[in-house]
Amino acid sequence: MSKILQAVRGMNDILPGEAEIWENFEEIVRDWLRGYGYRPIRVPIVEPTPLFRRAIGEVTDIVEKEMYSFEDALNGEKLTLRPEGTAGCVRAAIQHNLVAAGGPQRLCYQGPMFRHERPQKGRYRQFHQIGVEALGFAGPDIDAELIVMGSRLWGQLGLDDVRLELNTLGSAEERAAHRVALIAYLEQRRDELDEDGQRRLHANPLRILDTKNPAMQAMVEAAPKLVDHLGDESHAHFDAVQAMLRDAGIAYRINHRLVRGLDYYNRTVFEWVTDRLGAQGTVCAGGRYDSLVEQLGGKSTPAAGFAVGAERLLALWQDGGEAEYAIVRPAPDVYVVHQGEGAQRLAFRAAEALRDVGLNVLLHCGGGSFKSQMKKADGGGAQLALVIGDDEATALEVGIKPLRGGGAQRRVPFAVLAEAVLDALHDGGNNEERREANKE
Ligand code: ATP
Ligand code: MG
């Protein structure tokens, strides 16, 4: 026998049972997105590599070491599996002229992202994000709305331990001024910098503040703060965001070291974090990125957005949220058992007739005795079995046997099958209620 092939490390199968929880989750998410006027956009999973290099920035974890990049074997084109959704979304908006033609856009997407990281709990090589991008909005109101929106989703999932961390990255000029101070500070402590830190000292010193290296925490904590270099406009914008959050009753902590792992952000940046997921505690991250559209060749367009890590949010939901209410029991309404050639043909038609009226039907496939088929019908949790043998087939009738809560099997003409089954299912519900009532 040949060796069993395995999925790529860090790329997970989502099996039945789990996948149904995902579907429920996605439904909640879709409703939530509609509630804020976000419209779906679907863009390719593969994009030209230069898109990500330009959008995310050369000196970032993603571009330096996490991208799945390859050359198209046929034409040598440089391609990358998307590591995040903003770049593709903005590329599409520019390419199709969405903002110029339609005004400001609230766009959303969900889907797999790919990063070559060390797999661990909450960190995978294929993972899923739910993202929103608000293009063409300059004011602090959209920043606040994005945050309020996140808060509502946590509430809807029954999560009360997701905290907001907030910061501002100011404007490009303000960051430049801060950068000079920061480099001067870090140069004096060059020997305390790790390898990434040394390399980023001049290329991207802001990112050093975001280090996860425990040995560098105290040093970066004491580093010059960007907030001390902000001008009036940036202050006003940040103050307005905070005022709106206070109005909305949303608690937050200002974290001066929150710089985000991607280069495109400016002004407001935020992360939603929890203590329940260990080191991978950020479930959602985002902010404003006013220069990205122009950087990718579009007309200057202010913008802001965020992305939710679906695996992390689902893990929270399944562990202490309200996921238990959402687990689907995929039991069919009706299981169709049959024996004989004529019976099989009638069974096939019967199953379709019931699906026509919206029922979930499992048609027994693969033969076997009536007894073994009934066992399957019962074990699968169906409410009713349809029983069709040669007798029934000849008479053009169908047997209906309640599987839950008793009741005798009866035969009905095929012509009134759907009606009779709907009646029987309805009765079953009443019996259920009656039994409950009798118990009390
Ligand atoms: P981290 O600091 O955890 O690496 P990040 O800053 O790289 O996160 P973003 O690029 O902001 O993450 O992505 C937004 C969200 O997507 C993250 O907050 C997280 O919830 C999720 N995410 C990012 N990378 C992964 C991954 N490899 N596996 C699972 N979820 C991820
Ligand atoms: Mg990362």
The tens digit of pLDDT for each residue in 148-167 reads: 999 999 999 999 999 999 99
Rounded to an integer, the average pLDDT of 423-437 is 60
- Quote the pLDDT of residue 440: 42
Which amino acid residue places its CA nearest to atom 6 of ligand 1? Answer: 261
Q: Does 426 reside within a domain?
A: yes
Do 306 and 347 sit in the same domain of this protein?
no
Domain that holds residue 412: 334-433
**Do 254 and 111 lie in a common domain?**
yes
d(CA 4, CA 220): 48
**Residue 197 maps to a domain:** no
CA of 60 relative to ligand 2 center, distance in Å: 9
Q: Which atom number of ligand 1 is nearest to the Cα of residue 261? A: 6
Span 372-376, average pLDDT: 94
Atom of ligand 1 nearest to the CA of 115: 27
Query: Tell me, what's the pLDDT at 278?
Result: 86
- Judge if 58 and 35 occupy the same domain: yes
Same domain, 339 and 427: yes
CA of 72 from ligand 1 middle (Å) equals 27
306 and 344 together in one domain: no
Tell me if 341 is assigned to some domain: yes
Among the candidates 262, 288, 320, a domain finishes at: 320
Q: What is the DSSP letter of 279?
A: T
CATH of residue 345: 3.40.50.800
Q: Whose CA is nearest to atom 24 of ligand 1?
A: 123
- Which ligand number lies closest to the CA of residue 287? 1
Question: Which ligand is in closest contact with the Cα of 124?
Answer: 1
Q: Which residues contact 432 (CB under 8 A, 6 or more apart)?
A: 404, 405
Q: Is 277 among the domain residues?
A: yes
pLDDT at 439 over 90: no
Of 68, 280, 311, best ligand 1 pocket probe by most atoms within 8 Å of the beta carbon: 280
108 and 249 part of one domain: yes
Residue 70's SS3 state is strand
pTM of the predicted model as reported, rounded to 2 decimal places: 0.88
68: left (phi over 0), alpha (psi -120 to 50) or beta: beta
Whether residues 350 and 315 share a domain: the answer is no
Residue labelled with tokens 């590599």: 49
Same domain, 164 and 118: yes
Q: Is residue 261 pLDDT above 70, yes or no?
A: no
Final residue of a structural domain among 320, 342, 370: 320
Domain with residue 159: its CATH number is 3.30.930.10
Domain edge (last residue) among 320, 346, 375: 320
Same domain membership, residue 61 and residue 156: yes
Q: What pLDDT digit, counting tens, does each position of 4-29 carry?
A: 999 999 999 999 888 988 999 999 99
| Ligand 2 center from residue 346 Cα (angstroms) | 57
* 235 φψ region: left (φ > 0), alpha (ψ -120 to 50), beta (else): alpha
* Ligand sitting nearest the alpha carbon of 127: 1
Within a domain: 221: no
Report residues whose beta carbon is within 6 angstroms of any ligand 1 atom: 84, 115, 117, 122-124, 127, 129, 261, 280, 282-285, 307, 309, 311-312
Residue 328 lies in a domain: no
Do 135 and 253 belong to one domain? yes
Total domains in the fold of the chain: 2
> Residue 172: which H helix or E strand, with range?
helix 172-187
Residue of 127, 212, 258, 264 best suited for mutating to test ligand 1, as the one with most atoms within 8 Å of CB: 127
Does 326 map to a domain? Answer: no
Tell me whether residue 151 is in a domain. Answer: yes
